[in-house]
Amino acid sequence: MSITKSGGFQKDQLFVASCLALLVTSLSFGIRAGILNQLGVDFSLNAAELATIAATAFWGFPLAVVIGGMVVDIIGMKRLLVAAFIFHLAGIFLTVFATGFWSLFISTLLIGIANGTVEAACNPLVAALYPDNKTTKLNHFHLWFPGGIVIGTLIVYLLNKVGIGWQVQVALMIIPTLIYGYLFYRLQFPVTERVASGVSTAEMYKAVASPLFIFMIVCMFGTAITELFTGQWIDVLLRNVTDNALLILTLTTGVMVIGRGMAGPVVHSLSPQGVLLASAIIAALGLYMLGHTTGSMLFVGAIVFGIGVCYFWPTMLGFVAEYLPKTGAVGMNLMGGAGMFAVSVYMMFMGSRYDEILLSRLPSGAALSDYMAADASSEMGKQLNDARTAAGPEVLNTTLIIPLLLIVAFTFLYLFMRNKKRPSLTPAHH
């Protein structure tokens, strides 16, 4: 492995360490998606409580990403990543020794803060390391997000098969955490692109207030919900439709890893806005299939959905980095924060909606807790089972509205950007 040294920092090693840090972020998603049901059983939590715990990770993230984006130019990317390392370790330990709702709530919040801090530092780091190839390298960096979810869900699947508990599954995340902490501690970092090019803080905040940037933020709500809400909840939503709900998530994310790995030619032939429009169309089709098919067709739907959502997140960031470069680290991190915040709000809303749909399918006056406590083979258990089989696809069909709206938005963006040139940030001469 050759080490590209530029200005005293090692480009390849910094990129590898960034990918490892993102791997920990995504392992936490994959493992949490896989153990959510088990946590519900072990600590007797209902769907609304589980949704709150799952949503906490999505609150910690925007909080950290936005604050991190604002301070990264001041304190530097290295200090930010040391903080991420500490939050990750604390969150993992607290999860392993959790005793109930509140300890799970706090530990998930800490992991969410760690995850957001990783992106707050690494997104601008990747853009600074590869100024001429931002969208492609951001896709390569972000392939470790679905990559870690694949690894995480497979870990859960295999360890459950051999009867190893969720505490050990969570504790496994300590290994990559220690490695990335060590690597970042040793390496030297560049300054962010905005600082290198001498764009002032005032100019950066002015760029963030531009109509195009605000439009992209609104679109980010939609792309993030389409990808992440569906991913985090697929096991709960489709568990009663198929025996392999978690494997659907593994398949979807596996497709995403391959797609992001091949981002270079795709982005170069279609332009970031072209990629976004195509993605919205394919994602809508995939989501429709997930909500309307059963059996092996579900897996086809999962592949189509994976192709649809794979470029959303990194290409949204890449678009901002390329066409709105003056927004700097704050711009990229506001995008990530907005996306995660939207997912957390939507997730809590849909958690309650899911419980409502269940109740509407049960006899009137039924208490959901009684049905959840009932034996699966009893009459009540069977009724709850039928209600769940209907409720999952119904939630997916409601969510389908979002990519349909994105198709309209991205068509507009595609036409608007047709003859626009990419602005360049020229380094300031000192």
Contact (CB, 8 A) for 131 and 193: yes
Contact (CB, 8 A) for 28 and 111: yes
Q: Which residue ranges make up each domain of the chain?
A: 10-191+200-416
Distance, in Å, from the CA atom of 381 to the CA atom of 19, rounded to the nearest integer, reads 44
Give the number of other CB atoms < 10 A from CB of residue 172.
16
Q: 3-state class of 61 per DSSP? A: helix
The pLDDT assigned to 428 comes to 45
What tokens does 171 get? 């504790």
Give the number of other CB atoms < 10 A from CB of residue 401.
12
State the pTM of this model: 0.81
The pLDDT assigned to 4 comes to 46
Among residues 120, 121, 96, 123, which one has the least CA distance to residue 108? 96
The pLDDT assigned to 259 comes to 92
State whether CATH 1.10.3860.10 applies to domain 10-191+200-416.
no
Distance, in Å, from the CA atom of 116 to the CA atom of 66, rounded to the nearest integer, reads 8
Among residues 242, 230, 203, 243, which one has the least CA distance to residue 428? 203
Give, for all 430 residues of the chain, the pLDDT tens digit: 334 444 446 888 899 999 999 999 888 877 887 787 788 888 888 878 888 888 787 788 888 988 998 888 888 899 999 999 999 999 999 999 988 889 889 999 999 999 999 999 999 999 889 888 888 899 999 999 888 888 888 888 888 889 888 889 889 999 999 999 999 999 888 888 888 888 888 888 899 999 999 999 999 999 999 998 887 777 666 666 667 776 777 788 889 999 999 988 888 888 899 999 999 999 999 999 988 887 788 888 889 999 999 999 999 999 998 899 899 888 998 998 899 889 888 988 888 888 888 888 888 777 777 777 777 778 888 888 788 877 878 888 889 999 999 999 999 999 999 877 777 665 444 4
Residue 359, C-beta contacts closer than 8 angstroms, at least 6 positions apart: 366, 368
The pLDDT assigned to 178 comes to 93
Note the Cα 17 to chain centre separation in Å.
Answer: 19
The pLDDT assigned to 6 comes to 47
Among residues 243, 230, 340, which one has the least CA distance to residue 295? 243
Q: Which residue has the tokens 């609104």?
A: 218
Contact (CB, 8 A) for 118 and 187: no
Buried b (16+ CB within 10 A) or exposed e, 237-271: bbbbbbebbbbbbbbbbbbbbebbeebeebbeebb
| Strand ranges for 225-334 from DSSP E | none
